[in-house]
Amino acid sequence: MDLATRERAPHPEAPAAPYARVKQFLKEGLSHGRWAPGALMPSEAELVARFGVSRMTVTRALRELLAEGLVTRVQGVGTFAAHLSKVSSTLTIRDLHDEIAERGHRHHAEVHTARQERASAELALQLGLNSGDAVFHTLIVHFENGVPLQCEDRYVNPACAPDYLSVDFTQTTPTHYLLQVAPLWEAQFSIEASQASAQEARLLRIGLGEPCLVLVRRTMSRGVPITLARLVHPGSRYQIDGQFKP
């Protein structure tokens, strides 16, 4: 190998690590349209030759681009610029207590329901139980600086969190407690806008029929459903923010 080509980068903007330089070269080419979606990109061998690095280094750069969805790879054929027909964003759903605390505000919770019930047929299906089995049910309203922010209607699979009902939910949020019980989550969710029901409007102290942002989330851990939650927020007081970075 020619050591003269291994000069120290004088530009601070150039990434130091060789794998990062290869990755940036490809990423910039993609963003400038050098390879149209679906087009064949340089092979690993070509990149090895061009950058004078080993194949493992090139492989790492390409594998990270693959993980980011920027390229598709086919064994025996080549690496192709991905078709970016969709924009996927990272949506972070945080524990509400942390979110409020981070804004420097006060959080408190009112517990309206915390009891064991019998699962309806529909609920049993969602939680992997049989109709009529015991489920835990909590209905809690969360406040930010004294203003109602979220009405949290939640059902919990007792098998996953047998002590759930003994938790003091004025001190610990259900989300926080359940994250301790089952740390690794898999979730499905939907976000919709709907009018507040009579009960929701009363608990959130908003007008009947005011628009609410409703997040319904079902959470599983190790393939077992843990909890089903319906989180209702006054549209005027809550929004979800996120971003996407390639």
Which residue ranges make up the site for DNA (CB under 7 A)?
A: 1, 17-20, 41, 43-46, 52-57, 59-60, 62-63, 66, 73-79
The amino acid at residue 204 is L
Question: What is the closest distance, in whole angstroms, from the C-beta atom of residue 70 to its own copies in the complex?
Answer: 8
Strand partners, 109: 142
Residue 183 binds which of its own copies, DNA, none (CB < 5-8 A, kind-dependent): its own copies
Residue 207 binds which of its own copies, DNA, none (CB < 5-8 A, kind-dependent): none
For residues 95 and 177, the answer to whether their CB atoms sit within 8 Å is no
Strand partners, 219: 187, 227
Distance from C-alpha of 111 to C-alpha of 234, rounded to nearest angstrom: 18
For residues 191 and 240, the answer to whether their CB atoms sit within 8 Å is yes
Residue 52 binds which of DNA, its own copies, none (CB < 5-8 A, kind-dependent): DNA
- Near its own copies by CB under 8 A: residue from 14, 49, 54, 92: 92
Is position 119 an interface residue for its own copies (rule: CB under 8 A)? no
Q: Which is nearer to DNA, 46 or 98 (CB)?
A: 46
Question: What is the closest distance, in whole angstroms, from the C-beta atom of residue 69 to DNA in the complex?
Answer: 14
Q: Which is nearer to its own copies, 75 or 239 (CB)?
A: 239
Q: Which is nearer to DNA, 73 or 112 (CB)?
A: 73
Residues near 84 by beta carbon (within 8 Å), at least 6 away in sequence: 37, 69, 70
Q: Which is nearer to DNA, 12 or 242 (CB)?
A: 12
Interacting residues with its own copies between 50 and 69 (CB under 8 A): 56, 64, 67
Q: Which helix (H) or strand (E) holds 15?
A: none
Strand partners, 229: 154, 217
Distance from C-alpha of 191 to C-alpha of 240, rounded to nearest angstrom: 10
Q: Which is nearer to its own copies, 27 or 137 (CB)?
A: 27
Is position 80 an interface residue for its own copies (rule: CB under 8 A)? no
How is residue 122 written in tokens? 């529909």
Q: Which is nearer to DNA, 60 or 97 (CB)?
A: 60
Q: Which helix (H) or strand (E) holds 139?
A: strand 134-144
Question: What is the closest distance, in whole angstroms, from the C-beta atom of residue 61 to DNA in the complex?
Answer: 8
* The pairing of beta strand 78-81 with beta strand 71-74: antiparallel
